[in-house]
Structure 1
Amino acid sequence: MNLDASSIVPLATLRFPSASRVLRCSCCPDKDLAIFVSRHGTRDRLSLWKLQGSRKWEIDIDVEGESNEVVDLAWGPDGQTIAVAHNPPRITLHSMQDGRIERSYVVESHAARRPFLLTSVWWIRNQTETQANNLIPDIFKRDNVITGSSQSLLRMLPLLDALKDDVHPLTASDLFVFQGNESRSEAQTKLPATIASWPILPSSLLLASIQSSSKHETSRPGQELDEVDNSNTDSIVVVAADTGHLHLFLEGWYPLGSSLVSPDLCTTALHWDRNTATYFTHGQATLGDAGSITQLRPAVVQLPLLKTRYPRDVASASSAARELVWYAMCVVKEMRESWFGSDANVGARELGPKWIRSLETRQKEGFGQDEPNAVVDLTSLLVTGRASEALTDFLGSGEQMSDRGIQKWESTVSESLTKLRDFSEKRLAPACQRLHLILEEVRGWSKLPQHYGLFGFRTSDVDGLLDLVARTIVISAWLAATARREARRFKEFITWIRYENAHITQSGEGTPPALKHDFLEVNNYLMSGLVVSPIDKWFMGPVPRFSALDLGVSPGKHSLKEVMGRARRTMEDPERMAWQQSMRFKDLSHLDRNLESIVQDISVRCVRLFHPAAYATGHSAIISHGLNTSSTLSARSSLPKEILARERTIKHDDQKDGDFVEYLAMQTPPIADTSFLCLARTCYGHDVAETALRVDVAILECRGPGESGSQEAAVMRGSLLDFDFFDESELVVVYRAETSGKAFIATVNYSDVDYQPLTHDGYVSAPTREDLMIDALQKWRDKQLRSVLMPINRCRELAGCRQGSVSLAVNGRVGRRVACVLEDSGLIAEVMDMEGDPQEPDVSENIDDGTEE
């Protein structure tokens, strides 16, 4: 037994400005970082500290509601994202770099019969380990994408242009505030209800073949050559509620539904076997003032859909569809603002009527016309070349008719019409075409109930969506053609206005300017473009419901061969190729063509399609409770009020009694002023719900080494303060000596302890862990079980923790091996390197004031 204190080296002592608390998962698995939670008013604040002693960032979590309580957190498999569980029920995902909220969503449970609270959160890696030396490398980088699917087709298409970033607009704080350890409050993202509730994956922009314009994304030279970290791919965030529900989220974003494991029991421990897509959970029931009781035998939750690729495919389709619909909504919104204007900018649509109103005002106030009509005077000028007195005065003077005013008018309208043309052709129509590809694949899924029946796709719903999307593509092309025509007419109109302005200005002087405008186009713009534009219909009116027949297209479906044959016959017949003087154009003015309404209708229908499908995984859960169901939970009269318990499950494929070994450590109530630690070991496999449970126990007496630290020194009694599993062989315990009051941190071996099996006389079928501990203590008193001294491997005295309780967070990962002990006051935390270099100096007195280095 190595009791050399120098093998545990203090790293730093952190001093917090306000009382803080540490959670069991506060330590980052693969970095020297730890999260602490402090309370400020009715809200909790998160701070990230380097274990060497400096604070990296601190944020106020600005979520909806007046209060906010952090109950648990979990680190993503990539170590770059933190999932935080709050009450009222909400999950926020934070960036490890600066703490900003990447996503925030409310955890909902429609099956819950009462308001519920979140209790725990886990982030589980769900990737099968790939072989390092793969004989057949993935040279095409398919990344598990099926060739010919919508995702494979979207990958081959060019990325759609990024839109302006309205979701995360730049603020004065972003531009001028000093970055560092300043407390920051995250701004809430304002999204439409349909878009905000849409289930998506984090990498949804790339799935939809859209460029990103987020200001949070930084680039550096050579970044595109870096290896992509896919650790979070297919990972599962599991959130436990006190109603017995487990809520699942793919990669922390996409909801997979919930499963009711045990009614009114909150899950305290969870183990995931990715090979069989099975959860092993332990439920805990609160007994009010009597404390709580926890199931000894785990419940088995099988999720058969997670063994298939179907949830991931549906999630990818939903994410891509959401981004494309949101992209289309943003494009239509920007087009509308360009045409009709917004609160900040005047639209191009208003300039024409404003010019007409100014002319009519001049006619009425300056020349006494009771019923002024600017269009009549303009038409008379166009036809006869003679302007009325009011029109002559208006064209020859005024700010609006200056070269600068005309140039501004021309540039504003031309830019708006160009944007309408380009956005409808190069952004809106391609986005809808991509969405059509995705919906066609979903329609195929609706025809495969044996694989996708649980997702609830109905062919009729998908067909209705496909018709809407196809209609949107037609309307987009229609708008582009109309914008081209209006741009041509407006150009002729502005040319005419410049001609008449120059003619009036130069009246009687020199040769008049040459005519450059088209009279018919100018007249068309005067009649149907200057005051009332046909483009207005693309942003006004109900949802378009026209059919192909209304457009003059034959309703029958023809093959490509038939169409090409008809084209060849037409080209071979000179009479058919001749210009038809009697050609008649179909009147389409009565058809609705509102892009805003049809895109909004598409978003509502898509949410109805993809939202229920997201929850199919949770609904498909198969739950087994075995011999001891939650209804058998009962408390004995000798049950202690509070029991500190920790658990760890290790997979051993070579175990005879099962595939898993679960270790359980429970602090017993003091007996004769001595603290005991009850260790239990259970072995089980996937048939745990149907087989008898074998339990081995060991009673450890909390007696640490003497002051000298030698094995020969007399042991001293101690009281356990906190403990947690460190790795597959050691526990980290914090205890306080009864005589001196000093606190110590130590590592205890639990795997090689002499466990003793319990005989079958009632305790094997004990429904709770607490009953197991009471049975073990009773057998110890009856001398049927023996206790052993706590097998301490390494031990070191702590600088503080002389009174009160402590909180412990550990990281036993190879290369990290740290422990963080927080005092009862919550103001000081000691960080220990549990396998430090004995030659390193003692830095336990280094106090950090919470400022950046």
Structure 2
Amino acid sequence: MAEPLAEKVVQPAINPAHVAYCPTMDLVALATIDEQVQVYRLNGQKVFGILNKQTPAQVDQIKWKPNGQSLATAYSNHSLTLTNAQTGKVIHQFDCSAYSKSRICCLGWEVNFTDSNKVNSHINKFKGELTLDDVISQNPQAKAMDSAPDLPLDLAFLDVEASLPKLSVLSSGGIEDDIFSTRASLDTLFQPLTTSSTDSADILVVGFEDGTVHLSIYDSFEIGNFDLQQASRGVYGCKPLLHSSHPYSTTHSLLVSSQAGMERELHVVPLDLRLISNAGRYLSLLAAKSTQLHNVLRYINQVQRQMYSDFKASQDLPRRFIGNVEEALMEQSDCTWMQAAYHLVVTGNCHSEVREWLVDQLGERGHKRWEKATTTGYESVRRLAHENLLPALERLSVIVSRLRGLSRFQVSNVTLGLSTQDLDNILDTVNCLQLVGHHILITSGLELRQFSAFSTWLRQEIETQSSDVSTTEAAQKDMNIDYGSTLEYIQGPMTRSQLARFFDLELGVDKGSQWDLAAEGRSLFELYKKELKIDEREEPTGKGLPALDALIRHLHTQCRVVFNNIAETQKRNVRFAYPTSLGVGTPTCADMRMLAEHSGDADQFATYVVMGIGQKEPEVRVYRIVLEIENGMSTTTSVEIASVRLAGFDIKDVKFIDDDEFVLATSGESSSRLFRFPYRKRSDRSKTLAYTVMANQAGKNAKGTAERANIIPSIDLADPQHLRAYTWLEFPPGVSWTPERMEVNGRKGRRVLCIVAQDNFHYRVYDLDSATEPQELGPEGSDELMS
């Protein structure tokens, strides 16, 4: 009897449809009936929770990243969030309604090597010490066994961004703001391109109920949408159910449910990602740099919003104070506050309206509020420009220069979809933004010094007008006032700050449309520099300077052109192969796994699908679909089937453990059991499931239909010998221990099984290697069950 490693009682109840075990860490992610996602350690301690902050929505899917660093959560309101497993912070949030209006029904997140031969030879070199799981997990063991330096490769992937200063954190203030609010989340978002990740690409597959499939690489680098209805050649009403792939394969497999008359039919649809083989080693570099570019753009946009908010707050309160006195001055003295203040500084003569305002309305308290708001605003703008905006623009220019270097190679230009001219336009806009950033930095420092002098004078005037001060005392206090800076502030920043032209507070219109590069035909940087000099001389011109947000929107538009060109180029290298039918019906449970197999002198890939069928006469069917892949194009060569007949048991769930076994959870009248069965077809093993050929050369069939065959059960659990031989774990009677859902981690060193009980309040985690092996069958029964 296997002893559980961990046991947990969860409140509120678990939604058994959404449970996921982290592939690299002992973390269990599960959704509760109140539509929250909770992540627990094996000792039951809660690590973090994920709550959809926008609108109440149901959890549709959860999926871990192959290296266990992120968790994807899909909601019924078409949102998809990626949460960092180390910090619990949301690092990306997508509005999937732009891809499809249907709900998400399938999530696949797999890693693919761009040079599988290199990785395979590297693993074979350290045979017994290094495994494929070690490479995927990017653990220290895999990094310590890196192969000899490859100078051309090392130069190609030289990461200059790692030597740049780290970007500073931003204050938290909303859903997206939290991404940049901690050092841990920033380091995760802008982590450098490591050597172990240069030969691989993380593929995120999002399937929708209407048959739409969305692909992205490196979390947020989008490839585009694909329609299963059009790709599946005569198969209608497609709904993706499961996804699988192998790190060595450029082809992924989708288990799709389609409409066949009044019933549903299951198909396996190969998804050929030729972009992996065409782009090769540059794919990981392209995707990583494009993702970094996207993240820096988000960071710059957030910096701009904070600068705008802080500067606007610093101007609103003084405007309200000035508006109170200016209305009285215009009615009684026919002058503005600027004229009255200038007159007071130069002559010392104070209007009665100004004296009343200084003493009765503004006072010491109002002056402190004015000083705090304005000083804080200027200091915040100066700090954001110096610590956040300019470093982010520097990092952005380095990333764009790296992409520009790739675009100058003609071969990669066609393969990767990069345009040198588009990247030059981005660099020109970045130069323009750097010019604006330096002017903001200089102007905010200058106006802050001027305001400090004005604030000192204003505080003295409040004291002077509210009390009887002798001429000698007033003269002594005047010695501490910088009248030149005070007058400069009154004439300029007090009513019209030079920073307002960069934040567009008064006009509130987008002047960026006047700076269309196609219309101007010249450098935006040169135009802006010229217009900036004219604006400083206060000469009237036909056009005004575009604000900072207009320039950033223009930068986003230019980057979107680059992203779209890359995505369109890679999208042309994605293809759906012929679907293979597995028969009519809806399984009670199913799982899918792709394996790399060696047959003769050729390497091939086999997709295994295991599913539970039927209620009255339940059975488990295992399908083996063999694929041959050449130049990124897959062909289905054969389809085979094996079955396990159950007697007296109801199927609860079935999952693949690893490349050799799958586990079956059942419930019966007397007890509930877990069974383990070997499934992989091997010529060097006498014990394996007996597969029957369903169709030969299914890929050459126009319809891709797998012909049904007479299925002879490989295993019949009605036989006591079979029941005893394959039983791995037997549960005591009771609802709290009857299995309802399973999650398996079959990786080396973490072979565990997580079982959710039927009452949906309990879950247990078992070590798959803790129990003794199932009892071997005698020689009389082995030939009957295995082939």
In the TM superposition, what is the alpha-carbon distance from 1:286 to its structure 2 partner?
A: 3.8
How many angstroms apart in 2 are the aligned matches of 1:472 and 1:356?
34
Query: Where does 1:482-497 land on structure 2 (aligned, <5 Å)?
Result: 482-483=443-444, 485-487=446-448, 489-490=450-451, 493=454
Q: Is the aligned partner of 1:472 residue 2:433?
A: yes
Partner of 1:250: 217
| Match 1:164 to one of 161, 165, 171 | 171
User: Residues 533 and 683 of structure 1: is their aligned pair in 2 closer, same or farther, counting only changes over 3 Å?
Assistant: closer
In the TM superposition, what is the alpha-carbon distance from 1:319 to its structure 2 partner?
A: 4.0
The answer on whether the counterparts of 2:36 and 2:59 sit within 8 Å (CA) in structure 1 is no
For 1:361-406, what per-residue CA distance to the aligned partner results, in whole angstroms no more than 9, with x for missing partners?
Answer: 4897xxxx453555555555555x462573895699567576x876
Query: SS of the residue aligned with 1:26?
Result: strand
Partner of 1:623: 575
| Match 2:181 to one of 205, 213, 218 | 213
Query: Where does 1:14-33 land on structure 2 (aligned, <5 Å)?
Result: 20-23=14-17, 26-33=20-27
Query: SS of the residue aligned with 1:123?
Result: strand
In the TM superposition, what is the alpha-carbon distance from 1:798 to its structure 2 partner?
A: 1.6
User: Residues 269 and 511 of structure 1: is their aligned pair in 2 closer, same or farther, counting only changes over 3 Å?
Assistant: closer
In the TM superposition, what is the alpha-carbon distance from 1:339 to its structure 2 partner?
A: 4.1
The answer on whether the counterparts of 1:306 and 1:617 sit within 8 Å (CA) in structure 2 is no
The answer on whether the counterparts of 1:675 and 1:701 sit within 8 Å (CA) in structure 2 is yes
In the TM superposition, what is the alpha-carbon distance from 1:91 to its structure 2 partner?
A: 2.7
Q: Is the aligned partner of 1:800 residue 2:733?
A: yes
Partner of 1:660: 605
Partner of 2:349: 387
In the TM superposition, what is the alpha-carbon distance from 1:767 to its structure 2 partner?
A: 9.4
How many angstroms apart in 2 are the aligned matches of 1:311 and 1:605?
23
How many angstroms apart in 2 are the aligned matches of 1:668 and 1:661?
22
User: Residues 602 and 800 of structure 1: is their aligned pair in 2 closer, same or farther, counting only changes over 3 Å?
Assistant: farther
User: Residues 496 and 809 of structure 1: is their aligned pair in 2 closer, same or farther, counting only changes over 3 Å?
Assistant: closer
For 1:615-658, what per-residue CA distance to the aligned partner results, in whole angstroms no more than 9, with x for missing partners?
Answer: 34751334363xxx34x8596xxx56657554433223465564
Query: SS of the residue aligned with 1:354?
Result: helix
Query: SS of the residue aligned with 1:659?
Result: strand
Query: SS of the residue aligned with 1:125?
Result: strand
How many angstroms apart in 2 are the aligned matches of 1:539 and 1:470?
18
How many angstroms apart in 2 are the aligned matches of 1:60 and 1:160?
26
Letter in structure 1 aligned against 2:553: D
The answer on whether the counterparts of 2:636 and 2:698 sit within 8 Å (CA) in structure 1 is no
How many angstroms apart in 1 are the aligned matches of 2:167 and 2:320?
35
For 1:110-156, what per-residue CA distance to the aligned partner results, in whole angstroms no more than 9, with x for missing partners?
Answer: 5x7xx544332222133544574446469x9x988644xxx51x433
Partner of 1:277: 250
Letter in structure 2 aligned against 1:602: H
The answer on whether the counterparts of 1:235 and 1:251 sit within 8 Å (CA) in structure 2 is yes
The answer on whether the counterparts of 1:729 and 1:750 sit within 8 Å (CA) in structure 2 is yes
User: Residues 550 and 762 of structure 1: is their aligned pair in 2 closer, same or farther, counting only changes over 3 Å?
Assistant: closer
In the TM superposition, what is the alpha-carbon distance from 1:605 to its structure 2 partner?
A: 1.7
How many angstroms apart in 2 are the aligned matches of 1:58 and 1:550?
48
In the TM superposition, what is the alpha-carbon distance from 1:807 to its structure 2 partner?
A: 3.5
The answer on whether the counterparts of 2:278 and 2:415 sit within 8 Å (CA) in structure 1 is no
In the TM superposition, what is the alpha-carbon distance from 1:239 to its structure 2 partner?
A: 2.3
User: Residues 742 and 612 of structure 1: is their aligned pair in 2 closer, same or farther, counting only changes over 3 Å?
Assistant: same
How many angstroms apart in 2 are the aligned matches of 1:648 and 1:604?
40
For 1:747-785, what per-residue CA distance to the aligned partner results, in whole angstroms no more than 9, with x for missing partners?
Answer: 23334236365498999989999965x5123x789xxxx
How many angstroms apart in 1 are the aligned matches of 2:47 and 2:253?
36
Q: Is the aligned partner of 1:650 residue 2:595?
A: yes
Partner of 1:605: 557
How many angstroms apart in 1 are the aligned matches of 2:666 and 2:585?
20
Query: SS of the residue aligned with 1:693?
Result: strand
For 1:708-767, what per-residue CA distance to the aligned partner results, in whole angstroms no more than 9, with x for missing partners?
Answer: xxxxxxxxx656554333233333234456xx6433223233342363654989999899
TM-score scaled to structure 1, two decimals?
0.67
How many angstroms apart in 2 are the aligned matches of 1:89 and 1:396?
56
User: Residues 727 and 229 of structure 1: is their aligned pair in 2 closer, same or farther, counting only changes over 3 Å?
Assistant: same
Letter in structure 2 aligned against 1:836: S
Q: Is the aligned partner of 1:435 residue 2:415?
A: no
Partner of 1:723: 654
| Match 2:334 to one of 371, 377, 387 | 371
Gaps of 5+ in 2: 114-118, 120-134, 136-141, 516-523, 681-686, 715-720, 773-787
Partner of 1:733: 664
The answer on whether the counterparts of 2:112 and 2:202 sit within 8 Å (CA) in structure 1 is yes
Query: Where does 1:136-175 land on structure 2 (aligned, <5 Å)?
Result: 136=148, 146-147=157-158, 152=160, 154-167=161-174
How many angstroms apart in 2 are the aligned matches of 1:691 and 1:371?
88
Q: Is the aligned partner of 1:91 residue 2:80?
A: yes
The answer on whether the counterparts of 1:499 and 1:515 sit within 8 Å (CA) in structure 2 is no
| Match 1:745 to one of 674, 698, 714 | 674
The answer on whether the counterparts of 1:811 and 1:818 sit within 8 Å (CA) in structure 2 is yes
Partner of 2:208: 241
Partner of 2:280: 308
Query: Where does 1:755-834 land on structure 2 (aligned, <5 Å)?
Result: 755=690, 758=693, 774-777=708-711, 789=722, 792-800=725-733, 806-822=740-756, 824=758, 826-827=760-761, 832-834=766-768
The answer on whether the counterparts of 1:78 and 1:231 sit within 8 Å (CA) in structure 2 is no
How many angstroms apart in 1 are the aligned matches of 2:375 and 2:56?
49
Partner of 1:56: 46
User: Residues 800 and 726 of structure 1: is their aligned pair in 2 closer, same or farther, counting only changes over 3 Å?
Assistant: farther
TM-score scaled to structure 2, two decimals?
0.71
The answer on whether the counterparts of 2:596 and 2:603 sit within 8 Å (CA) in structure 1 is no
Letter in structure 1 aligned against 2:245: W
Partner of 1:592: 544
In the TM superposition, what is the alpha-carbon distance from 1:551 to its structure 2 partner?
A: 5.7
Query: SS of the residue aligned with 2:550?
Result: helix
Query: Where does 1:172-571 land on structure 2 (aligned, <5 Å)?
Result: 188-189=175-176, 213-214=181-182, 234-260=201-227, 262-263=231-232, 264=236, 265-275=238-248, 277-287=250-260, 289-295=262-268, 298=270, 300-304=272-276, 307-341=279-313, 347=314, 351=318, 354=321, 358=325, 361=328, 369=332, 371=334, 379-380=342-343, 385=347, 387=349, 390=352, 400=362, 413=374, 416-417=377-378, 420=381, 423-424=384-385, 427-443=388-404, 448=409, 450-453=411-414, 457=418, 461-483=422-444, 485-487=446-448, 489-490=450-451, 493=454, 505-507=468-470, 512-513=475-476, 523-540=487-504, 541=507, 542-543=511-512, 545=515, 548=526
In the TM superposition, what is the alpha-carbon distance from 1:612 to its structure 2 partner?
A: 1.5
Query: SS of the residue aligned with 2:182?
Result: coil
Query: SS of the residue aligned with 1:163?
Result: coil
Identity of aligned residues (%): 17
User: Residues 392 and 685 of structure 1: is their aligned pair in 2 closer, same or farther, counting only changes over 3 Å?
Assistant: closer
For 1:303-362, what per-residue CA distance to the aligned partner results, in whole angstroms no more than 9, with x for missing partners?
Answer: 346753444444444444444444444444444444442xxxxx2575388358548748
Q: What CA RMSD, in Å, does the superposition of the two structures yield over aligned residues?
A: 5.2
Letter in structure 2 aligned against 1:157: L
Query: Where does 1:105-120 land on structure 2 (aligned, <5 Å)?
Result: 105-107=94-96, 115-120=101-106
The answer on whether the counterparts of 1:548 and 1:554 sit within 8 Å (CA) in structure 2 is no
User: Residues 517 and 273 of structure 1: is their aligned pair in 2 closer, same or farther, counting only changes over 3 Å?
Assistant: same
Partner of 1:845: none
How many angstroms apart in 1 are the aligned matches of 2:12 and 2:525?
67
The answer on whether the counterparts of 1:21 and 1:822 sit within 8 Å (CA) in structure 2 is no
Q: Which has the higher contact order (CA 8 A, sep 6+)?
A: 1
The answer on whether the counterparts of 1:551 and 1:588 sit within 8 Å (CA) in structure 2 is no
Letter in structure 2 aligned against 1:387: N
For 1:463-493, what per-residue CA distance to the aligned partner results, in whole angstroms no more than 9, with x for missing partners?
Answer: 5544443333333434444445545555565
Which structure shows the bigger proportion of residues in strand conformation? 2
Query: SS of the residue aligned with 2:166?
Result: coil
How many angstroms apart in 1 are the aligned matches of 2:695 and 2:528?
82
Which structure shows the bigger proportion of residues in helix conformation? 2
User: Residues 490 and 616 of structure 1: is their aligned pair in 2 closer, same or farther, counting only changes over 3 Å?
Assistant: same
How many angstroms apart in 1 are the aligned matches of 2:425 and 2:316?
33
The answer on whether the counterparts of 1:293 and 1:769 sit within 8 Å (CA) in structure 2 is no
Partner of 1:39: 33
Structure with higher Rg: it is: 1
